[in-house]
Amino acid sequence: MQIKTRVTFNFWKLNELKKKAGALDEYSKDGFRRAGIIYTEWMLKRFDQYSRGGGNWRPISQRRFNEKGNRRILYDTGDLRRKLQASKSLLPLKKRGISLGIGSWSGRHRPSGMSIKNLAEKHQLGRGKLPSRVIVANPTRAVKARMKEAIFNGYKTSIAKAGLVQKRP
């Protein structure tokens, strides 16, 4: 199972121009990469805020507090946070958007011995007494607008480089 979110955009006009310009070139790909970076930065900021109790994640139990010695949610060693790298899993989707997920899942959570992938999945979905704590979330409207702008600028550069847009006199 992959933990990911899907962000959709309406790029139909750009896709028509892309057909004229040919396959995605490096400028278009750069727009998608930039969108992934914007999402990653937002996801990490959100993770930090929520892990300190500033979001809608349920607080840790008293038993878990006694084990850890602090109230940080989903933060023991920093292993999970270091794995939140959406840009490595950035995949263009047809004409409607892109998929974002967590990049490298290799490694183990040191205290539990559980794989980082299993740890993230259990918290993302919640299981048994463990509440769901959404790590890979849908972006806010403001973040989505910044992502859309990055992708649009990549396309815009591609189209200009392909000579499909003439400068006005």
Average pLDDT over residues 54-73: 89
Range of the domain at 152: 4-161
Tell me the pTM.
Answer: 0.76
> What local confidence, expressed as pLDDT, does residue 25 receive?
65
pLDDT digit string, tens, across residues 105-159: 667 777 778 888 888 888 888 888 889 999 888 899 999 999 989 988 887 887 7
Task: Answer whether residue 169 is part of any domain.
Answer: no
**Amino acid present at 147:** M
Task: Answer whether residue 132 is part of any domain.
Answer: yes
Number of compact structural domains in the chain: 1
> What local confidence, expressed as pLDDT, does residue 117 receive?
80
**Amino acid present at 20:** K
SS3 content of the chain, % helix, strand, coil (to 5): 50, 10, 40
> What local confidence, expressed as pLDDT, does residue 133 receive?
92
Task: Answer whether residue 167 is part of any domain.
Answer: no
3-state DSSP of 18-57: HHHHCCCCHHHHHHHHHHHHHHHHHHHHHHHHHHCCCCCC
> What local confidence, expressed as pLDDT, does residue 45 receive?
93
Top-confidence residue, 167 or 11 = 11
Average pLDDT over residues 89-101: 60
pLDDT digit string, tens, across residues 27-38: 677 888 888 889
- C-alpha pair distances (Å), 2 with each of 5, 81, 95, 121, 165: 10, 17, 22, 8, 40
